[in-house]
Structures are given as structure tokens and as C-alpha cells.
Chains A and B, each alone.
Chain A
Amino acid sequence: MMSATGENNILTTKLSEVIAWGRKYSLWPMPFGTACCAIEFMGAVSAVFDISRFGAELVRFSPRQSDLLLVLGTINYKQAAILKKIYEQMCEPKYVIAVGACATCGGFYDNYAVLQGIDEVIPVDVYVPGCPPRPEQILLSIVKLQEKIDAQARGEVAKDAKRAAPEILYSSKVPTV
């Protein structure tokens, strides 16, 4: 327990929880932006919505320096292999958010060229619907991912079973700013 002066105190916790606390509030996102969802992500990063309130503002453009891959837009068959390679270049632990209808399921591109959802090539932690999603939905997906990282540290969700329980966000309850 903390005293008013903050002296002579001991705080007990589990190492796994400290690590999870550190991970979930310092996600370094890498945007893989191919379409209009990337523009919404720019909105989510910028001042009005401000993704840094959730500790995920340090956007890197190298997969080796990031632990959160945000797939923002349409992925076609020729890009699928590139996306997979970029995912493989990220260090563990790593997380993936599929932002928008295209990354989630191909969107309205039901044709010969477009991958019908990025989960055909890489595992996905959180799916965000919308075409494109509002920035609030992207923020909500970060919060959902943080809850998931926390649950993984507590053993409530298996670490390797990313495919088993992906979060799916629905747009109906999104708060407006």
C-alpha cells in the first residue's frame, strides 16, 4: 500500500502482469496502408482523436521496430506475399489488427484479384468493420487489443491461439466525439 509520502513501501505483483502492463500501453504500430482506411488511421493518430492517449502513437515504418501490424486497406494476391513477409519480419510478441471491410473479408472486392480477408495469410487479433471505419473504431480496436494482451498475461486466453478468439467490433455502439 502506498502511503501519502510514498516512502518505505513495497508493491507486490506478478512479473507476467508487469510485462503485460508494459506491452499493452506501449504498442508500436506499423501501418500497412493500401487504401482509404489508412487516411482514417491518420485521423486516429492526429490531434482530434489522438491515439497517444492509448500509448500507441509511436508509428514506425519498419516491421522490425514495431509490434502491432495495422492492415489498412485492400490486399490483393500480389500483395499477400509481401504482407506475410512483413509480418514474419516483426519480432515476437506481435499483434495484428485488420482495419476495415477489405482487410477483414475483401470488402466489396469479390473478384479474381483481391484476397478475401488477410487471415488467409496471417493471424488476426482484432477485426474492425466499416468502409472505412471511424477513427473511434480504430481506437476501440486498440483498447480491445490491450484487453486481450492483459488476458493473455493472466492466462485467460491462450497465447498461441490467436485465431481461436479474435475480437470483432461492431460499429453500432461507437461513441462520437
Chain B
Amino acid sequence: MQAPKQMVLEAIQSISPEASLERGQVVAQVRRENLRKVLKACKEDPRLRFDFLMDVVGVDYLGQKPRFEVVYLLYSSATNHRLRVKVRVEEGESLPSMVGLWASADWAEREVWDMYGIKFEGHPNLKRILLFEEFEGHPLRKDYPTERRQKIPKIEESL
């Protein structure tokens, strides 16, 4: 019998050939245009069944091209497997929103927008989630100065 992790790896490799084992964990690096197809298969393929999107996180590789990376952390409550799907995105480019596939993508994508300024096409309510609306810039970008201070918001703005 195959090791369960190997089964996940082979299943994901049939959809996204660049998937590999990184430190014993299954990671799939996908291209931006294939993202929706791959993530849809991750959820709906009977071999994968990743029914839970745990988080969506951004990474800023300042100086590289494409500059940003977005990582989707998936979990399957049916098979107890985990999977990371990584996609690179250039500044100004957008990614398709996954709210239609997993409702948990809603807040996670808003946080990535808030902190990194990466847009998600088709998101129903893409506005800041943690910071206030008048905040200028995206603070987890590596070129956001540590010492930069914002205007103190009025109470109507901050809530």
C-alpha cells in the first residue's frame, strides 16, 4: 500500500506537475493562470478532498520578480492531509478570489489585501479587515518604513 502522503503528492502532480515534497510536506507551486483550476481540483477531486482552506498568507520577496507570493494552506477533514499551494504574483497583478470555493477565503483574502495590497478579482467585499480605512499603504510590504506613522483616525473612521 502506498503511503498516504505519496498518494496526495501523485494526485496533485497529475493536476499540477510542479508539486513536490518540501521537508516532508506536499507543496504545489502553480502559475497564476492555473490557480483557480488547481484549487478547484484540490477541493473537488475525490483523491484530494481538501474541504478546508485554513489560511491565505502573503509573502513579499522585495527585489525578485514576481515580487509577491500568496500561499494557500489547505486541510482535508476527510483524509487528514495538508497541502500548500503557492502562487507568485507581480505588483499590480491580481489573483482570482476563492470565496466561491471556500467561504473562509473571504477574511483571509481581505487580510492579504490589507497587509500586502494584493487584489483578489471577484471578492464580494475586498476592503481592509484589520486596519482602518484611511490607512495609507500596506504595512507588511518590505518597503514600508518601520518608523512611518499614520494620521490618527477619527472615531467614525476607526470602527
Q: Do A and B come from one complex?
A: yes
B118-155 residues with Cβ-Cβ distance < 8 A to A are: 131-132, 135, 139, 144, 146-150, 152-155
Closest beta carbon of chain A to B151's beta carbon, Å: 9
A30-B19 Cα distance, complex, nearest whole Å: 57
The answer to whether A58 has its CB under 8 Å from any CB of chain B is no
Contact A81 B153 (CB under 8 A): yes
A contacts with B, residue count (CB < 8 A): 16
Known: A112-B139, A113-B131, A113-B139. A81 touches B155 (CB 8 A): yes
Main secondary structure of the interface of B (DSSP, over half): loop
Q: Which B residues lie within 8 Å of A121 (CB)?
A: 152
Question: Which one, A77, A111, A120, contacts B153 given CB within 8 A?
Answer: A77
Closest beta carbon of chain B to A80's beta carbon, Å: 5
Contact B157 A81 (CB under 8 A): yes
B contacts with A, residue count (CB < 8 A): 17
Contact A84 B155 (CB under 8 A): yes
The answer to whether B25 has its CB under 8 Å from any CB of chain A is no
The answer to whether B6 has its CB under 8 Å from any CB of chain A is no
The 5 closest A-B pairs by CB, nearest first: A81-B155, A112-B139, A78-B158, A81-B158, A80-B152
